[in-house]
Chains A and B, each alone.
Chain A
Amino acid sequence: MHIPDGFLSAPVWIASAAVSAGVVGLSVRKVGKSLEEKQVPLMGVAGAFIFAAQMVNFPIAAGTSGHLSGAVLATLLLGPWPATLIMTAILSVQALLFQDGGITALGANILNMGVVGSFAGFLVFSVIRRVFKGKKGVLIGAFVASWTAVVLSAAVAAGEIGLSGTVPLRLALPAMAGVHVLIGLGEGIITTAALAFLLKVRKDLVYPACQPYTAAAAGGAV
């Protein structure tokens, strides 16, 4: 759901860019304080994998496709602050090198898929894994968080497009939410499968607060 140039009015894209710039700046400070040495290459691998996976559109209905956003996957590996930076890097490269998403819309795309995706996803995940215990809770949490993050990102994108006067919000919101209810299922399946695989082969690469509760993980708070 990369918004191209032309869909957003100047006040909307400027405001979105300002909010994103603020959160990205804060993320840089947070990440600088908390990033572990091993997470440096993990930032690289996560960025590479999510960029690559975003290229693989999957069909969701007649004549419509969707692709991974990856914000929740990045959050599960690194936490929401580094995830915001990874999504910012991906979306910036896509806009500047691949003409995927507008230059003026970059701040809005970072806000929708990076900031909203990472933090809403983390919040939903944190709530669900408190309800369902153990590994099951983590996997259910990953799926529901991925789905919710995609639908929320789409709703915020619809809000920006509606506020811009491009199309009335009462049309954009149900249409965007409706399509992304389906795309979110794909997001959930890919994210949950990737997490399940990592929990099996290299559990220590999963963000401590997103691992199943164990004696060790319980000590590492958010």
Chain B
Amino acid sequence: MSAVYGRGCRRRGLKGARWIWIGLAAALAVGGLLSLAASPSPDGLERVAEDQGFLDKAAEKPLLAAPIADYVFPGIRNERLATGLAGFTGTLILFALGAGIGWLARRGRARGA
């Protein structure tokens, strides 16, 4: 493992396991703060759907009610706070889910799958 992974890198830059928390903090800053500066314009697919007249084919009601629909945290009046909190929450969920998937996959191997 260490033959491939970073000999000589360990002691430089983001030392030890600190990169995990710095990485998470950076992600939370992007999802919770920088996301407030996002362009409100429609994205590529929405633009194409609008231009070609099939945007109205998008289902009006979702099949399942999403708890944080459209990245607006429910029950919060302040729009910016609601968006920031939605981003913060989603970022934390993905951190846990991503690491959880990796952990489960490795655990499967340990049991001799």
Contacts and interface: CB of A to CB of B under 8 A. Distances in A.
Interface of A: 1-7, 28, 31-33, 35-53, 55-60, 63-67, 82, 85-86, 89-90, 93-100, 102-104, 154, 157, 161, 166-167, 171-172, 175-176, 179-180, 183, 200-205, 208, 216-217, 219-220
Contacts of B99: 40-41, 43-44, 47
Nearest to B23: A45
A180 B64 CA distance: 29
A92 to B, nearest CB: 9
Main secondary structure of the interface of B (DSSP, over half): helix
Contacts of A57: 38-41, 43
Contacts of B77: none
Given A33-B109, A64-B41, A39 B102 contact: yes
A7 B30 contact: no
Nearest to A3: B45
Contacts, number: 244
A175 B52 CA distance: 9
A202 B13 contact: yes
12 contacts: A32-B105, A48-B31, A49-B23, A56-B35, A56-B37, A57-B40, A82-B102, A86-B98, A99-B66, A103-B62, A176-B48, A202-B14
B112 to A, nearest CB: 11
B45 A2 contact: yes
Given A31-B105, A64-B41, A89-B97, A48 B92 contact: yes
Given A6-B57, A37-B106, A56-B35, A44 B96 contact: yes
B76 interface: no
